[in-house]
Structure 1
Amino acid sequence: MLYPLLRPLLFCLDAEAAHEATLKLLDQVHALKLDGLLSCSIPRQPVEAMGLTFPNPVGLAAGLDKNGAHIDALAALGFGFIEIGTVTPRPQAGNPKPRLFRVASHQGIINRMGFNNHGVDELLENVRNCRFKGILGINIGKNATTPIENAVDDYLICLDKVYAYSSYITVNISSPNTKNLRQLQGEDELTALLSALKQRQTELADKHGRYVPLAVKIAPDLDDEQIAAVARTLTTQKIDGVIATNTTLSREEIAGHPLAGEAGGLSGRPVRERSTQLIRKLAKELDGALPIIGVGGILHGTDAVEKIEAGAALVQLYSGLIYRGPALVAECAQALANAKR
């Protein structure tokens, strides 16, 4: 495997520069048909969720390919599904740099990217130009300059545009890096937003002759009462899936680290237990009403199994890939296949 040799070099670079360099390298390897240098054989283990058949339960989380510019190269790593975005109606630069930090001693990442992306129209052009025919999720959000009381307008614009190109659509209301965004997780706000999106989903299904599932991505920092309220709202609004979880604002797991004071969401190993506990509580509240996609701190195959045992139907990777590389995809898929035996 090539990544263990490359990682020390990448870790010498600024984290965001390393991210961009890695994606360019993936594209080059894929163009040369050398994907075998980075990927391993993936056991086929179909999973039914949200009305879709996933070839294996290990997906790529949103955030790694915000503009959908690297779909084919990423898919070659063996993911059962790919999620791109978060995308907003208009292009935006995101927060000032530096905005991405490795907490290497804890295998964590802090980011305050701020939904930096080239806008929904460019993302869709990239999707139209890719060859990938597998399950593609598109994660949508609101522009930073859109007042929170008008957030539904941005989500509806994105929903309208991405609907025909998505296998499923994720509504991101849990990034800590867009001001006031997490307010949308409140029961009244969430009900109003999802009611509008569900109505538009019905209209779009009639227009396109195809039903595209809606999922909602939530934060790991919800308390028990909030988890119950979210579960109640998702069920009442007949949402098709929930992704648990996004990054945490807590620094409890990295207390005392020099980077603990950096603003942004913390992901990777430090969020693993927090995410798993929320999944376990959410699964109990949902009681099978809709599937959970588990994400947060998966760095080993055993972590993926832990998420499934807590109540998730599928898992997603992101920060773990930075520390473990593409081999993590096959390791998680194999561990989940073994756990089913």
Structure 2
Amino acid sequence: MYRFVFTQVLRRFDAEAVHHLTLRLLRLLAVLPFVKRVLHDLFAPHDEALRIQAFGVHFPGPLGLAAGFDKDAGCFESLAAFGFSHVEVGTVTAQAQPGNPRPRLFRLLESRAIINRMGFNNAGAAAAARRLRKPRGVPVVVGVNIGKTKVVPEAEAVQDYVASARQLAPFADYLVVNVSSPNTPGLRNLQAVELLRPLLAAVKEVAGRTPLLVKIAPDLADEDIDAVAELAVDLGLAGIIATNTTIARAGVSSTETGGLSGRPLKQRSLEVLRRLRKKTGDRLTLVSVGGVEDVDDVWERLLAGATLVQGYTGLIYEGPLWASRIHRRLARRVRRHGYTTIREVIGKTA
């Protein structure tokens, strides 16, 4: 049904307009406690075989929603009710900012991909903290992804991230330092280890007991991926999220600038995951994102060493019950292969 609506109706409208309409509907659902709980009972993962623990946090399943959808922490409970095991909100910046000029979100239907150059549009850390501190009506693991405010110079980036972390870490189940979006000028420079070390060390100190992860780009050279992995282990981070969107355009016809997500990112994202697993073993929690479309992709990422998997573009093309369907199929596959829990699958082919 959703595919018909998407191909016949939604694809004819501006992508960002549809996104904002979706957010409004999800926020409306968020204020209807009974409906939200019913949906959660129907579609959220409840199977014991899917439960998994990562960096001290219990997840009802491995598949979550990547950052970029719920930028202002306005509808994470509704998203959990539709089947995501966790929702990563953000990217949130210390200061509110409008992001880049429109149009800035584009569908590439033939490639099952999206290009975005949103530019961290969000209402700021204080606004997100106010929403996150409210009691949760349904169980949901919430990660908070933080980035650099655009107007802040690179030399002051550490203080900017620390300001966000100080406000948001107390209300997050885990915190993510995003230094890999291609849509904030100079941001990816912070992935260089000599700049990344003091940044992560400062944020980790402020985060306290909140697990801290770093999100990296797929466009890093292999030796730079290794260097970030070594740094994450050395600093005692909880994990690495791999990967963000790519600036590469192999296999797509669009010349729009911005970060490319979806099917064209699948292979590189998997390559980065395998490299990280080889480099770090089980010393870090690896979260794989990029080109995840179906249960086969999730299964492959788990076998390759990911403890958690995230998607975004798959939700756009497959609809609101996408995560719920994958979790159901994943539970059946776990049992079909003779396993008791999803934990037994992780790293089998690493």
TM-score (norm 2): 0.89
The 1:97–1:289 alpha-carbon spacing in structure 2 relative to 1, beyond 3 Å, is same
CA displacement, residues 199-233 of structure 1 (integer Å, 9 cap, x when unaligned): 323xxx3xxxxx21001111111121111101111
8 Å CA contact 1:305–1:335 kept in 2: the answer is: no
Q: Matched residues in 2 for 1:100 and 1:41: separation?
A: 29
Q: What residue identity is the alignment partner of 2:265? A: V
> Which of the residues 56, 64, 76 maps onto 1:59?
64
Residue in structure 1 matched with residue 175 of structure 2 by the alignment: 169
Q: Matched residues in 1 for 2:61 and 2:138: separation?
A: 16
CA displacement, residues 29-78 of structure 1 (integer Å, 9 cap, x when unaligned): 563828759x7463342111111111111111111000011122111112
8 Å CA contact 2:43–2:81 kept in 1: the answer is: no
* Bigger shift: residues 326-335 or 7-16: 326-335
> Which of the residues 115, 121, 128 maps onto 2:126?
121
- Long gaps (5+) in structure 2: 340-350
> Aligned to 2:200, what secondary structure does the other structure show?
helix
Residue in structure 2 matched with residue 307 of structure 1 by the alignment: 301
8 Å CA contact 2:44–2:81 kept in 1: the answer is: no
Large movers: runs of 4+ above 4 Å: 34-37
* Bigger shift: residues 131-140 or 234-243: 131-140
- Long gaps (5+) in structure 1: 206-210
8 Å CA contact 2:191–2:216 kept in 1: the answer is: yes
> Aligned to 1:65, what secondary structure does the other structure show?
coil
> Aligned to 1:252, what secondary structure does the other structure show?
coil
Q: Matched residues in 2 for 1:243 and 1:157: separation?
A: 22
Q: Matched residues in 2 for 1:240 and 1:162: separation?
A: 17
Q: Matched residues in 2 for 1:10 and 1:28: separation?
A: 20
Matches within 5 A, 1:130-145: 130-145=136-151
Residue in structure 1 matched with residue 348 of structure 2 by the alignment: none
The 1:6–1:125 alpha-carbon spacing in structure 2 relative to 1, beyond 3 Å, is farther
Matches within 5 A, 1:290-305: 290-305=284-299
1:265 correspondence with 2:263: no
Residue in structure 1 matched with residue 344 of structure 2 by the alignment: none
Q: What residue identity is the alignment partner of 1:4? A: R
Q: Matched residues in 2 for 1:53 and 1:214: separation?
A: 16
CA RMSD of aligned residues (A): 2.0
Residue in structure 2 matched with residue 197 of structure 1 by the alignment: 203
1:110 correspondence with 2:115: yes
Q: What residue identity is the alignment partner of 1:336? A: L
Q: What residue identity is the alignment partner of 1:190? A: L
Residue in structure 2 matched with residue 3 of structure 1 by the alignment: 2
Q: Matched residues in 2 for 1:41 and 1:53: separation?
A: 14
Tell me the CA shift for residue 324 of structure 1: 0.6
Q: Matched residues in 2 for 1:117 and 1:5: separation?
A: 32
Q: What residue identity is the alignment partner of 1:33? A: V
Residue in structure 1 matched with residue 194 of structure 2 by the alignment: 188
Q: What residue identity is the alignment partner of 1:72? A: E
Tell me the CA shift for residue 106 of structure 1: 0.4
Q: Matched residues in 2 for 1:188 and 1:59: separation?
A: 31
> Aligned to 1:299, what secondary structure does the other structure show?
coil
Q: Matched residues in 1 for 2:216 and 2:311: separation?
A: 16
Residue in structure 2 matched with residue 70 of structure 1 by the alignment: 75
1:282 correspondence with 2:276: yes
1:322 correspondence with 2:316: yes
1:81 correspondence with 2:86: yes
Q: What residue identity is the alignment partner of 1:330? A: S
Q: Percent identity?
A: 42
Residue in structure 2 matched with residue 33 of structure 1 by the alignment: 35
Q: Matched residues in 1 for 2:2 and 2:148: separation?
A: 35
Residue in structure 1 matched with residue 106 of structure 2 by the alignment: 101
Residue in structure 2 matched with residue 217 of structure 1 by the alignment: 215
Tell me the CA shift for residue 24 of structure 1: 2.1
> Which of the residues 232, 247, 250 maps onto 1:249?
247
Tell me the CA shift for residue 132 of structure 1: 4.2
TM-score (norm 1): 0.91
